[in-house]
Amino acid sequence: MQQLTGFFAVSPLKVKQPPERPCKTGAVSHNRKKNMEENYTDEFSQELEKKEKEEFESDDFAEVPPSDIVAFNELRSCADLVRMYKTDQLEIQPDFQRDVVWSKASQTRFIDSLIKQLPIPSMCLSLDYKTGQRLMIDGLQRISSIINFLTDKNWKLSTLDDIDKNISGKTVEQIKSRNYEVYSRLENLTIPITVLRCDYSKKSHMHYLFTIFHRLNTGGNKLNNQEIRNCIFHGPFNNLLKTLAKYDNYLNLLQINPDKTYRFAHEELILRFFAFHENYEQYTGRLAKFLNDYMDDHKVQSEEELAAKRHLFERVIDLLYLRILDSNPLPRLSKATTEGIMIGISKNINQLEEFGNANLKKRLTQLRADEHFSLDNLREGLSAKEKVISRLDRAIEIFSE
């Protein structure tokens, strides 16, 4: 992970093992320990994972769309769209595509459709009328295919029987040199676009754009909530989430395979950690809106604020992974339980760093056995306001003095 230097550099946590202090949260009985382990069978874990996946992909925006957002239609040539992309007038957040991307064959068939001037669905983008910034909402894969074709001379199309033989299996450079009229036809082709004229500084407008992402991205590669946030709330804080998701001890703690795609699931878990650490008492029961509000409020932060967030996160992960778990991965738990552990530690981090390891381990055992984190309790209200607040209150209490 890239480290900040100079004034904002943060020294790594020194792992110390002070003398033991008595654990004031009480001992955990043998039966409760046994029940704790039985709570997390594969069957029940799958049930919770299904519920948490639904939260990961659902929108809870219920307000009437803002009346001052104006929609209109326009035509743009492919060359013009690429020009706007190159001059940073059009934001497409391409890094999400490492996880959700068309196959080369799908991209090739789309290019073939354009060259043959077959009808294609309209794209949709938002326009911030104050800054002139555009954000691609629907059409991310299509615009990416166009950009590849018009900017990368070495980009090679798939060899397919059902496409124009002049482009099948050819690189862009070969197409330009042998059949320039084909390349030029696509370059000058106009694309129908729906534009949403709005104000990115208004929170109500950003919530509406989040909903539009949900409603329009309904194909096989539908974006989940955090992938949409990555597009809408891009900036220094969003970059920090992606950096922290690669922190070595975090990868080890949750047994994350760097070569596997997780579709921003860990960025959302880290977002939840920061949002609940700072604002859990203001949680209203609408998880997507709660996280959207936090990202919108914090998308642009100073170097000092970002360094403080990073330092807190690393202290929590280091204490949990190195001292409580003895550099072993966390057992398979629900997101809610993992979140509770992290919040309980973060809210008491200064005093916990002074405790002995045995004391810390007892507190983790106590939390996992607590009824607030039982499967029945989690099933009844995974993201319900009262359940979440009482769950986090209890986690903080368990890890406090």
pLDDT digits (tens, 9 = 90+) for 187-233: 999 999 999 999 998 988 988 888 887 777 655 567 788 988 988 88
Element (H, E) at 189: none
Region at 351 (left for phi over 0; alpha for psi -120 to 50; beta for the rest):
alpha
| Residue 36 in this model has a pLDDT that exceeds 80 | no
| Residue 274 in this model has a pLDDT that exceeds 80 | yes
- Residue 25: its pLDDT value, please? 46
Mean model confidence pLDDT for the chain: 85
Tell me the average pLDDT across 146-169: 95
Tell me the average pLDDT across 31-57: 56
pLDDT band per the 50, 70, 90 thresholds, residue 297: very high
Edge-to-edge strand list for the sheet holding 70-77: 70-77, 190-198, 123-128, 134-138, 90-91
Q: How far apart are CA 3 and CA 210, in angstroms?
A: 32
Q: Strand, helix or coil at 82? A: helix
- Residue 40: its pLDDT value, please? 46
pLDDT band per the 50, 70, 90 thresholds, residue 376: confident
- Taking every pair of Cα atoms in the chain, the longest distance, rounded to a whole number of angstroms, is 80
Tokens of 344: 């309980």
The gap between the terminal CA atoms of the chain, to the nearest Å, is 33
Q: Which of 55-64, 111-120, 129-138, 300-309 has the lowest mean pLDDT?
A: 55-64
User: Who has greater pLDDT, 326 or 21?
Assistant: 326
Q: How far apart are CA 132 and CA 147, in angstroms?
A: 20
Of 80, 155, 77, 84, the C-alpha closest to 114 is 77
List Cβ neighbours of 131 (8 Å cut-off, separation of 6 or more).
Answer: 200
Q: Crossing angle of helices 335-346/265-279, nearest 10°?
A: 40
Tokens of 302: 């100073």
In sequence order, the β-bridge partners of residue 90 are 134
pLDDT band per the 50, 70, 90 thresholds, residue 296: very high
